[in-house]
């Protein structure tokens, strides 16, 4: 099946610093990538949808200036958490779709990145 | 009210038992109904999906959708310790790119 990787798998940073998380589709071209966050014992909440070469679409309540998303190629999307604070500590998961249309469930998830902000 | 409601558990059953996991939803536009399995500190993996109402079976897993009641279920037969994970239901509307997830139910199968 399709493989999506994330790097790093875990990151600990100081409050006020910026953190970049990479999401890569390893064996397919991802026209659309999604970024989710998941708090402990909580569901996945969609943060934004990004299409290759265009600006990301953010969900209501997600600060686009704080969570910068770049989808510069068909195999790579990055999420940068700017000026991170302890409340940004969470599990961040990306997913990727290989077709611009298709069904919502035709997306493959990465293994997630655990961010801890001290 | 959340669009998708799922009891977070935890649910603990002995090996070999039949497990029943459920979700309810409020958005009548949902047409695709999915079940994902998520192991600790991992991303979700798709177990099954169903379009509209009906049943779908895949090995030990059976998914049921009752659109009239806005209620979906996942049954696991002959449960194994390796089935221990968090199970998330997810739904989407026709033509939608977004998935709406339930809270997830943490399941433990005891040997």
Residue A100 has pLDDT above 60, yes or no: no
| Rounded percentage of chain A residues whose pLDDT exceeds 70 | 96
Instruction: Quickly count: other Cβ atoms within 10 Å of residue A7's Cβ.
Output: 14
CA dihedral B89, B95, B96, B99 (to 10 degrees): 20
| Rounded percentage of chain A residues whose pLDDT exceeds 90 | 69
Residues with Cβ within 8 Å of A84's Cβ and at least 6 positions away in sequence, in order, are A13, A15, A16, A17, A18, A19, A115, A117
Contact list, B34 vs chain A (CB under 8 Å): 105
CA distances from A59 to A35, A82, B8, B65, B98 (A): 10, 17, 24, 28, 10
pLDDT at A99: 64
By Cβ distance, the residue of B43, B99, B103 closest to A105 is B99
Cβ within 8 Å of B, A 45-64: 45-46, 49
Distance separating alpha carbons of residues B89 and B75, to the nearest angstrom: 12
Pairing relationship of beta strands B71-76 and B61-66 according to DSSP bridges: antiparallel
**Which one, of B36, B21, B18, B51, lies nearest residue B100 by Cα?**
B36
Tell me the pLDDT tens digit for each residue of A23-36.
999 988 888 999 99
Grade residue A113 by pLDDT with cuts at 50, 70 and 90.
very high
pLDDT at A102: 67
pLDDT at A54: 84
Give how far B69 is from chain A: nearest CA, Å: 22
Grade residue B103 by pLDDT with cuts at 50, 70 and 90.
very high
Grade residue A1 by pLDDT with cuts at 50, 70 and 90.
low
- Does the beta-carbon distance from B97 to A49 stay under 8 Å? yes
Distance separating alpha carbons of residues B84 and B10, to the nearest angstrom: 11
- Does the beta-carbon distance from A43 to B41 stay under 8 Å? no
Instruction: State chain A's mean pLDDT as an integer.
Output: 91
Nearest-Cα residue of chain A relative to residue B98: A104
Grade residue A85 by pLDDT with cuts at 50, 70 and 90.
very high
pLDDT at B18: 97
Residue A109 has pLDDT above 90, yes or no: yes
Token pair for A2: 């399709």
| B68 secondary structure, DSSP code | T
The SS3 of residue B61 is strand
Grade residue A5 by pLDDT with cuts at 50, 70 and 90.
very high
Nearest-Cα residue of chain B relative to residue A35: B98
pLDDT at B76: 98
Tell me the pLDDT tens digit for each residue of B35-92.
999 998 899 999 999 998 889 999 999 999 999 999 999 999 999 999 999 999 999 9
């Amino acid at each position: 099946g399709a493989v999506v990787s994330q790097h790093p798998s875990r990151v600990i940073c100081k409050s006020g610093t910026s953190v970049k998380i990479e999401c890569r589709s390893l064996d397919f071209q991802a026209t659309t990538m999604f970024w989710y966050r998941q708090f402990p014992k909580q569901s996945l909440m969609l943060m934004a949808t990004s299409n290759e070469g265009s600006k990301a679409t953010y969900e209501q309540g997600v600060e686009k200036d704080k969570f910068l998303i770049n989808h510069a190629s068909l195999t790579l999307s990055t999420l940068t958490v700017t000026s991170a604070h302890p409340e940004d500590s969470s599990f961040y998961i990306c997913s990727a779709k290989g077709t611009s249309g298709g069904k919502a469930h035709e997306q493959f998830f990465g293994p997630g990145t655990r961010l801890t902000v001290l | 009210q959340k669009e998708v409601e799922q009891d977070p558990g935890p649910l603990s059953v002995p090996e070999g038992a039949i497990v029943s996991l459920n979700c309810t939803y409020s958005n009548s536009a949902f047409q695709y109904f999915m079940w994902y399995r998520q192991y600790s500190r991992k991303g979700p993996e798709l177990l099954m999906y169903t379009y509209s109402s009906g049943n779908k079976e895949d090995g030990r897993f059976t998914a049921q959708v009752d659109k009239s009641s806005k209620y979906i279920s996942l049954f696991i037969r002959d449960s194994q310790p390796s089935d221990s994970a968090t199970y998330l239901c997810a739904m989407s509307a026709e033509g939608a790119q977004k998935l709406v997830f339930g809270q997830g139910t943490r399941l433990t199968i005891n040997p």
